[in-house]
Structure 1
Amino acid sequence: MRKKFFKIFLTVALTLGLCITGAIPVGKIVGTLVVNAANITLKARDYDGDYSVTNGVGLTYDSDKTAKLGTIANGDKAKFKNVSFGNVDPIKAISFKYSKPNSDSVRVTMYLDKEGENKIGEWSLSHKTSSFSDPYKEKFFSGIEKASVGSGKHDIYLKFTCGGTAEDEVNIYSISFFSTTEDEDTEEDLNTATWEDQYKNDTNKNKPYYRANIYKRSSYVILSDALDAYSNKTIFGDPYAIMGYKSLVKQVPGISYNYADNTLTLNNFDSENKYLDIRNMGKAFKIKLVGKNNLKAIYVSGANWPTPLHFTGSGSVVLNASKSYFVGPGLNTAVLYLDGWHKESFIIDKKAKVTAYGYKKNSPVVLSYGEGRPALKKAVKISFSKKGSKLDGKFVDGKGDRIRSRYKYNKKTFKKK
């Protein structure tokens, strides 16, 4: 009993450690699926962390940051939530991608919707791999006791029965369900592939990118709610970007993103309680304004990948119309914010209209260099023409200007018409 408790403690500690470093978000983790016409794949990172960690199963990682279910011992259990089988009903085959560098027997029992009931099937993982980082895929056409799962979303429970005594008997990378008996996996459709597979990019700095590195965050656009963090939505990018839980990419009326031209479009979006948190989207990233838009704030950061703040289109946006106090990402009180790590430009095209309101003496606009901490020689200077109708923004040496004028437009209201 003491050994089991200690194992669960280590699993929780490992998971919390990864949360702090950014590999796993804190809080509930809701499943996301890779789906095409012939199969459904549950990947390890899509597990229900609350249930699984409590029952001894946590996430471990290969050197390339590939996630897998690990710390699995006899009697441990895991869970995937909200699985939609779609066209894969009835189930005609199932495969496990796993690593098991020992000869111990491992049996996986799977249940539908209720732990210990509605048994889908049971399978023995018998292949011995050279190491825990040497995945092997094994496909089964038998052992399926409940082939028809029905429509809607379902919870999937796994129970592991292990013949050995080690605390880490097997690592599970993914589980796939098939609607065909052909002994061949269907290639994943790019349009429905996981985000990192579709947008993996290390060379074209004009585009967003995915990088499996806990210290270098992937690209994302998040619509956040100032009043309710758990209603945040990923508009584009790495679904792990939202702290608190994992989110599917959402379709939000009035907001859309086009990867082909790297443009986020605001089309008559109206919600002053919501703000945009944008990171690492590439040098060609633009925000197109269509109609009249109303938001609390817009934050842009290119900490790991150059990202400008570039407004285009012929519409308008108003930020913080109520002139209320607000603290956004990085504990910043500005409502129009560019963290220009790579000396990116702040551009408002001629026909675009941008208005931002600060709270009392707080500046509504901050243009800085390096996570809100402007470097002395790499700051931003902004100035207006005499009539206030033209905005000029550029990076300056900094030696000839006072600190406050280098990175902050110290007015309560910012307008560019």
Structure 2
Amino acid sequence: MHGGMAGAGWAPPQLEDFILTERLGSGTYATVFKGYRKRNVREVVAVKCVNKRSLNKASVENLLTEIEILKTIRHPHIVELKDFQWNKEYIYLIMEYCAGGDLSRFIHARRILPERVARIFLQQLACALKFLHDRNISHLDLKPQNILLSSLDKPYLKLAEALFGRPPFASKSFSELEEKIRSNQPIELPGRPRLSPECRDLLQCLLKRDPQQRISFKAFFAHPFVDMEHMPSEESLGKATNLVMEAVEKDQAGDASAALSLYSKALEYFVPALRYEIDARRKEAIRSKVSQYISRAEQLKVLVSSNNKTLLQQGNPARDILKEMSKDKPRLYAALAVASAAVAKEEEGKDDSETLDLYQQSLGELLLMLAAEPAGRRKELLHAEIQTLMGRAEYLKEQIKRKESQLEAESMGKEGMMDSVRGSCTLQ
């Protein structure tokens, strides 16, 4: 650090309205201290002290631009610039204090993060980036060290290679790093931990060396893994409640399939609503209602799946005829075999992502075959088979989502119980 501020015995600078204490970190141009406001409430802040002597003309312009931008934007996932001051030696940026440290330390302390945690952080980051992008602002230095967390017990990201605990070009030297970046070999994702198809797809879309091939901002914000629609917010509970009201109406009208679908969609909003809610009583009330909806959804699932099984089994002879008619087309026959494997897995009760992958794999091939198939009986059967498989795949996708939401809701229920236990232990 220029000007000697990084020295171990260096006393923090003196500021009229603040008491500066421990050093939080330092960079090329600045050192950051924890500070307390002297007057009124002893508000905790982070004070970024920039040494004027370390700045050239361009650096001064960059700093002024940073101050101008930060003073005009307010967002829950962007660190707030509360004020700035200066004297002969330093420029001081008084920032919001984030007790959880930076994301880099958070990842290293835990080695790897579970996918659901990484997804929540990604949603919060995407929310901040969308806010900046809509205002034509680019961050230009996005990395885990520059992403802060509000606290460690309930981390809240403030504008990340978090899943595997290391970046994609991890290297021991600059020459090795350069070689990896210049290489034309595709970036391979580690086999462990196992990722959802949506997460894997997003990483592959992002990790393209050629910026022209990389996912666009628009596609990134719309990607199903980012799923900004279902990130915890003040609207989550309202959306969940509206869907449940529709579900109850359909349920009372005897439309079990529509009711199950709506209950499942409602759960996708209830989980983020639980994450967003901070009032313990309201949180417990939501949990209680969610348990009731999960129970009813389970009952409807049994009813709907038994009805679907009867209907879908009627399509089996047509599938067998189609396979027999396709023996002269190995690619079509193979795709139908994959479809049959998916159906068999589902009927065994394996409503998991591997079964869904088989459905999607077969449908991708069959749709290509349908486009090339001349008019005739085989094309008619193929068209009907694709519709049946799409219906199965869509139903399975809803079941997987519902199961994930249920597990997450139950997990949050257990967390709530643990919080109560900890609270009672503390009281004792």
More strand by share: 1
TM norm structure 2:
0.23
Bigger Rg, structure 1 or 2:
2
Which structure shows the bigger proportion of residues in helix conformation? 2
Bigger RCO of structures 1 and 2 (CA < 8 A, at least 6 apart): 1
